[in-house]
Structure 1
Amino acid sequence: MLMIKETVYFLALLLFILSSCSKNEEPRSEPDKPQDIFVRDLNNGHFSTGQPSGIAKPIYFSLQKNAEAKADGDWDIAFTGLANTLIVSNSKVGTWMKVLNVDYDKIDRKPSLSYSEAESGNIANYENGWYTYDVQTHVVEPIKGKTIFLRTGNGKYYKIKMISIYEGAPAYPTSSDKTTFLTFQFGELE
């Protein structure tokens, strides 16, 4: 009988200890990752259809503020050139770019890259660019697996994925869709 009482007391004590531990412990969570931002249909007030021609009015954009900026203001990148497909970094404030053949979704930390004026400043449809242009259909399409990396003058790092230059970002654009409506995704890297 004494052994049964000791066993009951031991089990009661064990249950008390286990229940008090679980009440005091806070659930562990991983630190919040910064959320990616989608910019949809960023436009310069003009549009065109068909074969792109002429230089488009530039659009200046601050990734740090997630907002359009003025030419003489605090901007990180500008979209200019044909249908705003040329991306220019603001080297005057120390912002530099680089395009890599790497999937945007697989990047969650800043890569070890060297940024230099020779490799930064304008990114379009060249070998190191972000899009292809079909001379028969006059359609501009982002190259899958291309990510643009930016280092700002104040030491922040971003990744950018261009999605479309057409209004509404249609999955299958045609030359009759309105251009200079930029849609892209970006996120800050740690």
Structure 2
Amino acid sequence: MRTTVLLGMLLLFVGVTSCSSDDDAAPLMEVESSKASNIHAPQQGGQGKPVSGPFTKFDFKTGKITTSDQEWDIAFRGTTIIVNGGAPSGTTDEPARSGEAAAYITSGTSLAGVTSVDTSKLTQDGADGLAISTGSGEGWYTYDSTTHIVSPVVGKVLVVKTRDGRYAKLEILSYYKDAPAPADLTQEIILGSSRYYTFNYVYQPNDGVTTF
């Protein structure tokens, strides 16, 4: 009889503990989809002259530009994009990297087509180069030396590990203010309203979750 009572109490304790554990498990937060418009990324120099100037830093968690020295994930200057992870690349005026951000570029797909992160492809910035390659045809864009138009390459999606180990993906739509259609790009826009990023992005806010 005593053995039976003790066994019953043990089973009750296990059941209560199990239920309590299930109740305490935090539900996953929803994946966030959004659009960033007119992220201004000016630079000094270029056209054969040394490039310099501060980078414009972006935080996926807030979906906003930030001036924080630490709470940023990616940063833009001209056509160059850096991540908050790795080591200095030797670029003039680059901010110090304090996070664990990394990135890679996928080709021949759409934003919706990237459903998970291939963590084996993630790389960080460093002296040997940037995680997101720069240069016409080398990374996310092409440059037409005749028209001077910078065009995002269709099918290029940037996959990013954020500074604190979450993940995001983005597709750059335009390099010009208010994202004009290619047919509407005039010389005035090209020369006076460039270096304004518009991109769609998806942010995975849950720690350790590599799917979107």
Q: Distance in 2 between matches of 1:100 and 1:60?
A: 22
Partner of 2:142: 132
Pick aligned residue for 2:169 from 151, 159, 162: 159
Partner of 1:184: 199
Aligned residues: 154
For residue 155 of structure 1, report the CA deviation from its aligned partner.
1.9
Is 1:89 aligned to residue 83 of structure 2? Answer: yes
Q: Which amino acid aligns with 1:100?
A: T
For residue 108 of structure 1, report the CA deviation from its aligned partner.
2.7
Give CA deviations for 1:77-100 in whole Å, capped at 9, x if unaligned. 0101xxx21100011311001111
Q: Which amino acid aligns with 2:82?
A: V
Give CA deviations for 1:84-130 in whole Å, capped at 9, x if unaligned. 21100011311001111032221233334332336744432355400
Q: Provide closer, same or farther for how the CA distance between residues 132 and 55 of structure 1 changes in structure 2, counting only shifts above 3 A.
A: farther
Q: Which moved more, 1:114-123 or 1:127-136?
A: 114-123
Q: Which amino acid aligns with 1:116?
A: T
For residue 56 of structure 1, report the CA deviation from its aligned partner.
5.4
Q: Distance in 2 between matches of 1:98 and 1:128?
A: 12
Q: Distance in 2 between matches of 1:43 and 1:116?
A: 25
Q: Distance in 2 between matches of 1:132 and 1:89?
A: 21
Q: Distance in 2 between matches of 1:32 and 1:70?
A: 26
Larger gyration radius, structure 1 or structure 2: 1
Q: Which amino acid aligns with 1:96?
A: A
Partner of 2:40: 43
Instruction: Tell me the secondary structure at the aligned position of residue 176 of structure 1.
Output: helix
Q: Provide closer, same or farther for how the CA distance between residues 55 and 170 of structure 1 changes in structure 2, counting only shifts above 3 A.
A: farther
Is 1:141 aligned to residue 151 of structure 2? Answer: yes
Give CA deviations for 1:42-63 in whole Å, capped at 9, x if unaligned. 225x699xx7975454211111
Structure 2, unpaired ranges of 5+: 1-27, 86-96, 205-210
| TM-score w.r.t. length of structure 1 | 0.69
Structure 1, unpaired ranges of 5+: 1-30
| TM-score w.r.t. length of structure 2 | 0.63
The answer to whether the Cα contact below 8 Å between 2:171 and 2:200 also exists between their aligned partners in 1 is: yes
Instruction: Tell me the secondary structure at the aligned position of residue 108 of structure 1.
Output: coil
Q: Which amino acid aligns with 2:83?
A: S
Pick aligned residue for 2:116 from 102, 109, 115: 109
Partner of 1:174: 186
